[in-house]
A and B are shown apart, each in its own frame.
Chain A
């Protein structure tokens, strides 16, 4: 076996993978095709994406939370009952989730960066349009619809881009980005100040401008992933193309044909398996794939060198890059048939219910127990800070890969459930504070892991449609949550029930994860059945 083919093969493989995200743990030496400067740039772009996601969280969440301040101003000027005005807020926050499937389609068509810029434009435009508002329905459309869709666009694009860029440290990057929500407590007094100075119209004008800042930060979402997908598609197609070319054109290598055909089959298996076996992400299958190809290349290389070389080069250049993508329909309903999706959505739905309801009722319960409103708001701020810190910690821990990420997720959810069930025992301020801290600690833990768990279960290719539909169902929970909590209070006249309800939800949600291993096995079997006839 000559040494010559290996360096070339390595170089080709690395130039294909060279555009991959630098955060991947690559066992081989850094790409020869790309200089170290480009590597650092890639890592830098990943931080840019995290920064953008952070900014999105701060501004989007800030806007949603400060809507309450605008509420009063709207009511006074534009008129309308408080129920009508609160519709604006609910349209805005629910569209953020419900618009996700539509946005997923747009993202796949146009790419994340244009979608994000469109989202920022929608928000800016919506804010500006709202300054001219004269009636509540007008505001519903201009603020509710436009802003809600804009938020959905931004959020989806940023989340998926983060997943695509930050492979190895996804949980930590996600946690950093989500910590932006912790900063939103600054936006409320700022908004109040602006309203006192400029009135609500001037404030909306200035907010529109601030939201426009998301346009340059959206430009940081460089579409490197297109090349990533292309390179992995190339790996797959190159394997099959090379195998085909080998068998067709190399008469001189007939003595090894049978041996090669077996290797061929196994090489073809690996790319398709790649699409199915997801738990540890694509990192594991990548090198395996290429080393199999290397093994395949070695036998024919010694005698068939020149033809292979030219064929390989041609295949490298002439591969249709979107071959893989075009096979997916535009509005992809396949997630709905996937058991893994059902598992995830079940958990997502209930965990969101368990998250929102106590937040709403914590302050009210503190007041009924005789805690002053200053102390009650102190509870909220401590909870906010604890949540942010615990998100970062949980993200870092999950990234160490000591065990599968959803194990952490399940553990946090169970702890949240237990904490909530114990909440009725908290009747004094110190106990309430302890509850708030514990709740925030575990909530931060599981919140940080939602996206990484989804990526682990599903992979990055189909993340758009999965995330879109999961967000849609979460949106239904988000709409139903607050009224449900309010109804619970009206029915039982005590806030204790809401916490018990939240605890029950939090305990129900991780149940679905126990089915995850069997769901994966089921998927594998299905995939094998599909592949069987093709190879046979």
Chain B
């Protein structure tokens, strides 16, 4: 199986070659298929079969397979696809009132355009940064990187976002998750810890005062003894 990434219209040649140990099957025919359709124009050489394709639009992408029919079926698969965009596995955590920056990167291939979507229920709504300029800012940092900056976060901004890269041959999406927390959330453990610290400080302080009093009594007794002996 092979994955081939194409971002623009090109001509491509796919070839299947027979390994030496199967040379006894040379005389048999190889079929090339796209999906279920058989392709007619096959070039055949000594031990390899190839097809030449001109990929011009999205419909020509897909899975191509070469199959050798005999006692067993031997074959190979080629997957022609647009470049994949990676989102982020872990959610981005941010706080209410703060700014969140979400980044999408395309590896190696430059998209024509980037679009951001927010998932509302089951729909995806495109984010229009010119419409809501004080809320969303979309920046194309470099050819392959896009940033979505969300200002003045609120609880409603929590959810799933998609960044979509448009290539000549199609579109590809990456998924990102945003989590918006209120300030109280980390504050609670913090206050709990501070309370514990205060309690400990008080305990140590009280114990010290208590032991100082004990020492003072012991010292007074000691001095009394010394004076007595003298």
Contact = CB atoms under 8 A, between A and B. Distances in A.
A199 B153 CA distance: 14
A402 interface: no
Contacts of B211: 41
A contacts with B: majority SS: helix
B189 A209 contact: yes
B95 A38 contact: no
A20 B204 CA distance: 21
A210 B215 CA distance: 33
Interface in B165-186: 181, 185-186
B58 interface: no
A2 to B, nearest CB: 14
B28 interface: no
B218 A34 contact: yes
Interface string B126-156: 0000000000000000000000000000000
A11 B197 contact: no
Contacts of A205: 186-187, 190
B93 interface: yes
A34 to B, nearest CB: 6
A216 B194 contact: no
Nearest to B219: A33
Interface in A12-43: 12, 15, 33-35, 37-38, 41
Contacts of A77: 101
Interface in A268-303: none
Interface in B51-102: 90-91, 93-95, 101
Which of A41, A216, A220 has most B Cβ within 10 Å?
A216
A198 interface: yes
A189 to B, nearest CB: 14
Given A33-B222, A198-B186, A212 B94 contact: no
Contacts of A313: 226, 230
Interface in A80-110: none
Contacts of B194: 209, 212
A371 interface: no
B112 interface: no
Contact of B181 (A35, A202, A310): A202
A202 B201 contact: no
A196 B181 CA distance: 12
A208 interface: yes
A215 B201 contact: yes
A196 B93 contact: yes
Interface residues of A, number: 37
B200 interface: yes
Contact of A209 (B90, B103, B197): B197
Which of A38, A199, A210 has most B Cβ within 10 Å?
A199
A196 B90 contact: yes
A33 B214 CA distance: 13
Contacts of B201: 215-216, 219
Interface in B184-208: 185-187, 189-190, 193-194, 196-197, 200-201, 203-205, 208
Contact of B222 (A15, A203, A212, A309): A15
A209 B193 contact: yes
B222 A216 contact: no
Contacts of A220: 204
A185 B189 CA distance: 22
B229 interface: yes
A212 B197 contact: yes
Contacts of A12: 226
Given A11-B226, A15-B222, A215 B185 contact: no
Interface of B: 90-91, 93-95, 101, 103, 181, 185-187, 189-190, 193-194, 196-197, 200-201, 203-205, 208, 211, 214-215, 218-219, 222, 225-226, 229-230
Interface of A: 7-8, 11-12, 15, 33-35, 37-38, 41, 76-77, 195-199, 201-203, 205-206, 208-210, 212-213, 215-217, 219-220, 222, 309-310, 313
Given A196-B91, A199-B93, A313-B230, 8 more contacts: A41-B211, A77-B101, A198-B185, A205-B187, A205-B190, A212-B194, A215-B201, A216-B200
14 contacts: A8-B229, A33-B218, A33-B222, A34-B218, A77-B101, A198-B186, A206-B193, A208-B190, A210-B193, A213-B193, A216-B200, A216-B201, A216-B204, A219-B204
